[in-house]
Amino acid sequence: MNLKLITRKGQSMSKTMKAALSLLVAAIVTSLSIAGYLAAQTKGYVETEWKDLMPEKWQKEMWSSISSPGKSGGMHDGSLEATAEMDKQRKRYDNAPIEPSIIGKKIRIAGYIVPLDVARDKQREFLLVPYFGACIHVPPPPANQLILVRSTAATKMKQVPETMSIVWIEGTLKEARVSTEAGVSGYLMEPVSVYPWQQTK
């Protein structure tokens, strides 16, 4: 009798223990993955969204020009006037101005990789773009939604940047000066660190 009681007690004990243990394990795993993500982060770099790279005024202008139904509402796809309108829109995209207040800031931003070099090593230059398939399957984003990423010997990077993989980059945002009629166009970064993006929330 006595023995049985103890075993039963022991069993119920072990059940609670198990539940507690599994909770603990789950907690550790979650905190580890978050910790891993946080550990990869470098202090002093502010998480930034792609819309922060667009000047607000330009954004509003573009929005109104796209959404005014009077102009494009009656057009048919592929018609001459629709194509002309698209061309105009594209030109505005290509010459999109950058946001001057963000230049020189230390930022952390996530995006997709479009490699510019054939070589598959860590010195591979790439463009970071905000959405999947940008420029390959769907129309390219405006010039102020691209960051030219030029890794240096000091850049911390574990994997070779591959087409359309998602990464965080951290570094000081600079302007990529281009001597064309458009003047300054696009951003440049020599990142301190590049690491795979993970869903954290």
Partner 1 sequence: MLWLELALRSAWARRTALAMAITSVAVSVFILLGVQQLRDDTRNSFSNALSGVDLVVGPRGSASELILYSVFQIGQPTRNMPYSTIEKLTQLPSVAWTIPIQLGDSYDGHPVIGTSTQLFLHYRANRLPLEFDKGVPFTDPKTLVRAPINENSQVAVDEVTQVVIGSNVAKRKRKNLGDGLILTHGKEAGLNTEHSDFTFKIVGILKPTGTPLDNAVLTSLEGFSAIHQDWTMGVKMPTGDKQVKSKTADFLALQPHEITASWVGLKSRTQVFSSRRIIESLPGGLMAVLPGVVLDDLWRIVSIVENALLLIGGMVAISALLGVASVLLVSLSARRRELAIYRALGAPPLALLGFIGIESLGVCLAGIIIGLALTQLLLFTLAPWVQTNFGIELLTGLPTGETWASLGFICLAAMIVSILPAWRAYRMSLADGLQPPVAG
- Which residues would be at the binding site for partner 1 (CB under 8 A)? 90, 93-94, 114-121, 123-127, 135-136, 140, 143, 146, 148, 162-163, 176-181, 185-188
Query: Minimum CB separation from partner 1 for residue 6, in Å?
Result: 41
- Bridge partners (DSSP) of residue 187 are 147, 175
- For the chain, how far is it from start to end, CA to CA, in angstroms? 52
Residue number, 20 or 66, with CB nearest to partner 1: 66
- Please tell me the chain's helix, strand, coil percentages from 3-state DSSP, rounded to the nearest 5: 40, 20, 40
Query: Minimum CB separation from partner 1 for residue 174, in Å?
Result: 11
Query: Minimum CB separation from partner 1 for residue 83, in Å?
Result: 10
Query: Minimum CB separation from partner 1 for residue 115, in Å?
Result: 4
Angstrom distance (rounded) from CA 32 to CA 198: 13
Interhelix angle 56-67/80-94, nearest 10 degrees? 170
Query: Minimum CB separation from partner 1 for residue 40, in Å?
Result: 23
Query: Minimum CB separation from partner 1 for residue 75, in Å?
Result: 19
Angstrom distance (rounded) from CA 139 to CA 153: 33
Residue number, 40 or 160, with CB nearest to partner 1: 160
Residue number, 2 or 180, with CB nearest to partner 1: 180
Q: Where are the beta strands (DSSP E) in 1-146?
A: 46-47, 106-115, 126-129
Residue 51 DSSP label = G
Residue number, 5 or 153, with CB nearest to partner 1: 153
Residue number, 13 or 178, with CB nearest to partner 1: 178
Helical (H) or strand (E) element with 193: strand 193-196
Residue number, 49 or 121, with CB nearest to partner 1: 121
CB atoms within 10 A of CB 19: 10
